[in-house]
Amino acid sequence: MAQAVIASDSIQALRQCGLFASVKGVSTGFPAQFSGRLLSGEFCAFRARGANITLVVAEDESHFLNDDLVARYHKIAVVDDEHPFGASTMPIAEALRLTKDWLKRYKAGDRPLEAAKIS
């Protein structure tokens, strides 16, 4: 039951940040993830799992499913004895901060296709 409340609060935070026309698939752990449609129309998906934190942007969801991306942002998380799950338990506030930073770069025209670490 507590997980549903956390997910509901997380969806509300994402909807209120002013970046998304819609948000879905919010999970606050194992992995931390969400996807949505930006106000500008593109599809984006955030995922934090193990050593990988990524945000991808595609023209729409069908392009995303075909790995036809406009941009992929990536950050490596620490996975060690102290952090055995790496980014998988990332708080939604941190995910939102990273997403805002990456989408600011996206809007400015900085659109890398950074590869995620394969583990």
List Cβ neighbours of 117 (8 Å cut-off, separation of 6 or more).
Answer: 51, 52, 74, 76
pLDDT at position 46 = 93
Report CA 73 to chain centroid distance, whole Å. Answer: 9
Burial of 27 (0-12, 13-18, 19+ CB in 10 A): middle
pLDDT at position 116 = 61
pLDDT at position 7 = 55
Give the pTM.
0.83
H or E segment to which residue 72 belongs: strand 69-76
pLDDT at position 96 = 86
pLDDT at position 78 = 86
List Cβ neighbours of 81 (8 Å cut-off, separation of 6 or more).
Answer: none
pLDDT in tens, the chain (119 residues): 334 334 567 677 777 888 889 888 777 666 788 899 999 999 999 998 888 999 999 999 999 999 999 999 999 988 888 888 888 888 878 888 899 999 999 999 999 987 765 54
Structural contact between residues 20 and 36, judged by C-beta atoms closer than 8 angstroms? yes
